[in-house]
């Protein structure tokens, strides 16, 4: 009898907790953004969320899942299951990661594309790295990046970016707001670069960060 009462009390407590969470959520979709790295990408998308005044209950940004693309996807699936089991699932899940040096990059893209439920998980990938997206705020370039002895493709993008942001370092805050005036240009350049990469049957260089930025821009609509 005592165990039955305890079960019902826990069930009632969980139901009340769910009601509070749903009540605090605003009337637009609930999304999860899982990022590579603990600072650069999570900081950037937290800034996007704050800039567009999006509720933290609606938009969860995580960077505590490692840097390997497959570990990011696995973490995203786990968080989706947790919220689904709690009765308040995410509507969409975005996995943000780079190609630069990751052995499981292609496997992760295939896994995300084939995973169910459909139209729930999305890859926000950059080639070779996230900083290529930042570079597009200043210039349009489709020059491919190839790893050289002692100089990775990611470091090459970083060197180019520092021509425009001299004090740029990974993990630096304020990047989104600093570059807000060039955001429209970056989106146009990213879309143009994807079209060109598809015509040339290559992904080097390319980025889909603008797709997630657009989702966040329009989320309240």
27 three-class SS: coil
Specify the pLDDT at position 34: 98
What's the Cα-to-Cα distance from 190 to each of 5, 19, 129, rounded to whole Å? 58, 40, 13
Of 32, 171, 47, 170, nearest in space to 95 by CA = 32
Six token digits for residue 52: 């567009």
Identify the segments of the chain with pLDDT beneath 70: 1-23
Q: What is the pLDDT of residue 101?
A: 79
Q: Provide the residue range defining the domain that includes 139.
A: 2-218
The DSSP output letter for 205 is: S
Number of folded domains that form the chain: 1
pLDDT attached to residue 4: 56
Check if the beta carbon of residue 30 is closer than 8 Å to that of residue 57.
Answer: yes
Residue 21 has what pLDDT? 54
Structure tokens at 13: 């407590």
Q: pLDDT above 70 covers what percent of the chain?
A: 90
């Amino acid at each position: 009898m005592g165990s039955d009462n305890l079960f019902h009390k826990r069930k009632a407590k969980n139901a009340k907790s769910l009601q509070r969470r749903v009540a605090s959520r605003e009337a637009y979709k609930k999304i999860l953004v899982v990022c590579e790295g603990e600072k650069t990408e999570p900081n950037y998308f937290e800034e996007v969320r704050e800039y567009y005044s999006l509720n933290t209950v609606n938009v969860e940004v995580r960077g505590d899942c490692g840097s390997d693309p497959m570990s990011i996807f696995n973490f995203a699936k786990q968080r989706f299951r947790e919220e689904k089991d709690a009765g308040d699932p995410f509507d969409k899940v975005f996995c943000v990661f780079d190609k630069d040096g990751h052995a499981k990059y292609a496997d992760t893209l295939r896994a995300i594309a084939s995973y169910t439920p459909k139209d729930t998980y999305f890859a926000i990938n950059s080639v070779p790295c996230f900083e290529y997206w930042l570079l597009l705020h200043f210039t349009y370039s489709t020059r491919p990046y190839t790893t050289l002895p002692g100089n990775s493709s990611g470091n090459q993008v970083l060197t180019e970016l520092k021509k425009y942001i001299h004090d740029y370092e990974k993990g630096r805050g304020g990047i989104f707001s600093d570059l807000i005036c060039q955001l429209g240009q970056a989106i146009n350049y990213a879309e143009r670069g994807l079209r060109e990469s598809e015509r040339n049957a290559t992904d080097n260089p390319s980025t889909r960060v603008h797709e997630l930025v657009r989702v966040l821009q329009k989320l309240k609509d």
